[in-house]
Chain A
Amino acid sequence: MISDRAALSVDHLSKRFGDRLAFDNVSFEVRPGEVFGFLGPNGAGKTTMVRTLGTLLTPSSGSATVAGLPLSAENGVEIRRRISVMPESPGLYTRLSVAENLECFAGLYELADPGPRIERALGAVNLAARAKDPCGTLSKGLRQRVSLARALLNDPQLLFLDEPTAGLDPVAAHDVHDLINGLREQGVTIFLTTHRLEEAERLCSRVAILNTRLQTIGTPDELRDRLFAKTLSVRTVGPLADPEHLFGGVPTVDSWRRDESGGYVLSVSDPAAAAPVLTRALVAAGADVLSIAEERQTLEDVYLELIGEDVEAGAR
């Protein structure tokens, strides 16, 4: 079902190259102003999805609405006017300066009075001082920034970022993260593909995990809750005398086990309610408590769980 309010709606979309399926029967929505993460391993179909939604490739089946327009060849020019795509490879004209590259794209977007727009885009990526440098002389990180500036020129309603930090060192990647955060604060809708899970966790309000088919979709917290039981980790100076009796007496504890380091991992339905009750029970039992902490699964755990299951299912 395609919603009119969404910045991007994808409905049972598939793309096939001959016998090879790039992505299959994918449906999701991206809300206006949202940073939406699209995760998946190499070859999962992420870049093909961006190219399809960016009107470079024609879908094999299904439908989509991009920036308010149905995805079709007839709407291609108008859709491309409303969106921007930052491909994985910057694809700059290396013999041209930074400003000349942007000037060319300002012309392609038919921007009136392009000078101030170019200055603003360069300012947004902190590259105003390098405007006259030939792009061929820039580092990979700086080229990515120029590519991002280029994508910002037309004030897109929807910005596709395809692996924007691929191949960047941690400092350059951090700079790009800051830029994306800045865009989010300005209300730009961003569709971000990545296989850097910490990046998605830091930047995205919701994520989808793709491995040819859509595996799951939701906020990082929702995905964690959906896949993993909530747990409390208990560390004590020595082993408890009768852990079965102690933990069994705490109402919100569903089950418990010992971990490799000699601590206790408790499955609980509500960690916030369980922790104080558990603390009191431990103290009453005379245990020397070192720590009680909620164990948080990372997005990486979610990802590995889903992709691992998918690989196993494929092997069967």
Chain B
Amino acid sequence: MSWTRIRAIFRKEVREYQRNRSIVLTMAVIPLVFVAGPLINIFALPSEAGQQLRFEHILVYMLGIPAIVPAVIASYSVVGERTQGSLEPVLTTPIPREEFLLAKALAALVPSLVISYVVFIGVVVAIELFAQPGIASSLILGPDVLAQIIFTPLVAGWSIWVGMAISTKVSEARTAQQLGTFASVPSAIIAALIAYGAIAATLQLAMGAAVLLIVLNIVGWRVTSTLFDRERLIAGAR
């Protein structure tokens, strides 16, 4: 494993994101759309609702952001290079596919984590400042914050591998992004079901989910590497 090669792709990816308006816009708009509705509802809650909220885990809903944002980026990663013709020159260098994919995944993960944590902090601050008295203390619970910190990279990682797996199989960037977003929806739905009490949030569930996501991330890397078939990606045939 060469971190020099991984760093080269990572830096290139980050530079491209910074200069790609559509990606920047997508990264900015998705979290806003995701939190705007729930925040308005939270601000409208009366103080008395606080007692009921103590038994819910509304903030877990925010894990939908690391589920969706990286999927959009990751699903573009391979097919984007393929359509602009830059995949072939990269594959003629000594970088193995595992390193190439890991670099791409890290480049999608880092901005996704930054966005997810920043938006989460912003939401927490907004609730503290603008919600009715008693609402913030009921909503912002230590275990939920810890869950957000731990699960954000795990959920984002899983979405990235799913997005990249799709990206290796399709031949059109827009299709890849649509499928990637669609594939990330189940993770967001599970987070929402936990947030609104349809799935009981327990320590065992959290630990089980964490272990499962770690395994899925490792498997996701391996499976995506297997799907990354140089021959098909370059010649369009097998």
Measured CB to CB, the residues of A under 8 A from B are: 17-18, 48, 51, 54-58, 77-78, 80-81, 83-85, 87, 89-96, 100, 103-110, 147, 150
Interface string of B86-98 (1 = CB under 8 A from A): 1111111111100
**CB-based A-B contact count at 8 angstroms:** 96
CA distance in complex: A87, B96 (Å)? 19
- Is the beta-carbon distance between A107 and B231 smaller than 8 angstroms? no
- Is the beta-carbon distance between A96 and B15 smaller than 8 angstroms? yes
- Name the CB-closest residue of A to B91: A56
- Chain B contributes a number of interface residues (CB within 8 A of A) equal to 31
- Taking CB atoms, residues of chain B closer than 8 Å to A83 are 92
B204 at the interface (CB under 8 A from A): no
- Is the beta-carbon distance between B4 and A56 smaller than 8 angstroms? no
CA distance in complex: A36, B175 (Å)? 42
Measured CB to CB, the residues of B under 8 A from A are: 2, 4-5, 7-9, 11-12, 15-16, 19-20, 84-96, 230-231, 234-235, 237-238
- Is the beta-carbon distance between B5 and A108 smaller than 8 angstroms? yes
Known contacts A57-B234, A104-B8, A107-B7: does B93 contact A96 (CB below 8 Å)? Answer: no
Least CB distance from A113 to B in Å reads: 12
CA distance in complex: A103, B10 (Å)? 12
- Is the beta-carbon distance between B231 and A56 smaller than 8 angstroms? yes
- Is the beta-carbon distance between A91 and B94 smaller than 8 angstroms? no
Known contacts A57-B234, A100-B15, A108-B95: does B5 contact A90 (CB below 8 Å)? Answer: no
Selected from A58, A80, A100, A110, the residue in CB contact (under 8 A) with B92 is A80
- Taking CB atoms, residues of chain A closer than 8 Å to B84 are 91, 93-94
- Taking CB atoms, residues of chain A closer than 8 Å to B15 are 95-96, 100
- Is the beta-carbon distance between B16 and A93 smaller than 8 angstroms? yes
Known contacts A95-B16, A107-B4, A107-B7: does B92 contact A87 (CB below 8 Å)? Answer: yes
Known contacts A77-B94, A77-B96: does B11 contact A107 (CB below 8 Å)? Answer: yes
Sample of 20 more A-B contacts, CB < 8 Å, known A94-B84, A96-B15: A17-B237, A51-B234, A56-B92, A56-B230, A56-B235, A58-B231, A87-B89, A89-B88, A91-B84, A91-B89, A93-B84, A103-B8, A104-B9, A104-B12, A107-B4, A107-B7, A107-B9, A108-B90, A108-B93, A108-B94
